Copies of this chain bind each other. A is one copy, B any other.
Amino acid sequence: MRNIRLIIAYDGSSFFGFQIQPNARTIQGELEMALSKITKEDIEVVGSGRTDAGVHAINQVVNFKTNSRIPVDKITIALNSLLPDSIVAKDAREVPLDFHSRFSAKSRSYIYLLYTSSYPSPFLRSYAWYLEEKPDMERMLDILDIFKGQKDFTSFSRSNGEGTVREVYDISLINRDPFIIFYIKANGFLRGMVRLIVRIIVDAGYGITGREEIISILEAKRRGLIKGTAPPGGLYLYNIEY
């Protein structure tokens, strides 16, 4: 038995998210189908985390166990010939049997792309959040520290679950006209967390939500306080560290 770790990139716009579902095209579903063909086994894939429908990945990490003898350096070629063009296997290597894409992860990072222009781009409609008016950079940079460190992020989650405390290691915002690039790194994320944080940061940039209000939303530890969220197309799972 071998444990194989893959690094994959995908365009989430044509999928119903990462996690396998009956009657829906998912990343996990496509990966398991292709890997089962390659290995002639029933392969189950473990992802570092789920991504929602429309969310992309640049370096998603998955692992699977197999008795197949396929050389590890042939796996990406075989996979890429079977997978749809919207999923690309970038790397495959053998890892210790106890490696688990999700449980072994020490940190995860995401990127979120904002696009500002006087008209939307037909090319970016599934890849960035289009904002006609540019939110104020200073106002946005001013509140990033609120999210840094170990916090209970219940107010920034979309579903119930055990454990709502996460530690944000790094959070930043860079202006690269016509884009604003948001980056966040944490030991883990609650469902919907990144997009809710991006939403409140943009609201802050427009002067809709102030620093004190954001702090009180966070401290309320209650879901549903934030109106709306950032659209999925701007979000990219960037890196997983082990």
Contacts and interface: CB of A to CB of B under 8 A. Distances in A.
Contact of A121 (B88, B123, B125): B88
Contacts of A90: 119
A229 interface: no
A121 B86 contact: no
A85 B119 contact: no
Contacts of A120: 80, 85, 88
Contacts of A127: 123
Interface of A: 9-11, 56, 76, 80, 85-90, 119-123, 125, 127
Contact of A125 (B85, B89, B119): B85
A9, A76, A87: which has the most chain B beta carbons within 10 Å? A9
B122 A85 contact: yes
A122 B76 contact: no
Contacts of A85: 120, 122, 125
A88 B130 CA distance: 13
Contacts of A11: 122-123, 125
Nearest to A83: B122
B9 A87 contact: no
A121 B125 CA distance: 17
A122 B10 CA distance: 6
A89 B9 CA distance: 32
Contact of A80 (B10, B80, B86, B119): B119
A88, A121, A122, A127: which has the most chain B beta carbons within 10 Å? A122
Nearest to A87: B122
A86 B125 contact: yes
A90 B120 CA distance: 9
Contacts of A80: 119-120
23 contacts: A9-B121, A9-B122, A9-B123, A10-B122, A11-B122, A11-B125, A56-B122, A56-B123, A76-B119, A80-B119, A80-B120, A85-B120, A85-B122, A85-B125, A86-B122, A87-B122, A88-B119, A88-B120, A88-B121, A88-B122, A89-B119, A90-B119, A123-B127
